[in-house]
């Protein structure tokens, strides 16, 4: 069964609004989650590392004030795209590390379309 869930699976919003995407670890507690984005026909690009109980670590070129990450519990991380613009339209995917297996499990992704 699914180990990681994401909600919503797709969202359409108007330019200027904020959108929150949830990533849940269903079977185990996760101190670390990752957020990726994928443009059409391109690869997954790591955006940030979400750490439970502390600030997220962002990759170079990713605006932390634009993409707010909150990892408030061991099973939930949220990514908020603030003041979304059409260029933020993308596929956002989270992953969770299962330390015992040293394996990353990926969520099904959230497709964001900003009009």
Kindly state whether residue 34 participates in binding other proteins, applying the rule CB under 8 A: yes
Task: Indicate the residue among 5 and 82 with the shorter CB distance to other proteins.
Answer: 5
Q: What is the nearest approach in angstroms of other proteins to the Cβ of residue 88? A: 20
Kindly state whether residue 104 participates in binding other proteins, applying the rule CB under 8 A: yes
- CA–CA separation, 71 vs 33, rounded Å? 8
Let me know: does 53 contact 37? Beta carbons within 8 Å: no
Task: Indicate the residue among 13 and 22 with the shorter CB distance to other proteins.
Answer: 22
Kindly state whether residue 23 participates in binding other proteins, applying the rule CB under 8 A: no
Q: Which of 71, 109, 110, 112 binds other proteins (CB under 8 A)?
A: 109
Q: Which residues contact 91 (CB under 8 A, 6 or more apart)?
A: 37, 38, 39, 109, 110, 111, 112
Give the residue from 28, 42, 44, 40 showing the smallest Cα distance to 94.
Answer: 44
Q: Which of 12, 46, 72, 115 binds other proteins (CB under 8 A)?
A: 46
Kindly state whether residue 43 participates in binding other proteins, applying the rule CB under 8 A: yes
């Amino acid at each position: 069964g699914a180990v990681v869930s994401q909600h919503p699976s797709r969202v359409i919003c108007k330019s200027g609004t904020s959108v929150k995407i949830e990533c849940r670890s269903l079977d185990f507690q996760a101190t670390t989650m990752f957020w990726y984005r994928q443009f059409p026909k391109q690869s997954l690009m790591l955006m940030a590392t979400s750490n439970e109980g502390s600030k997220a670590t962002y990759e170079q070129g990713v605006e932390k004030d634009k993409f707010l990450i909150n990892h408030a519990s061991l099973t939930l991380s949220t990514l908020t795209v603030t003041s979304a613009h059409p260029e933020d339209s993308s596929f956002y995917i989270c992953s969770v590390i299962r330390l015992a297996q040293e394996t990353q499990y990926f969520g099904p992704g959230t497709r964001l379309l900003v009009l």
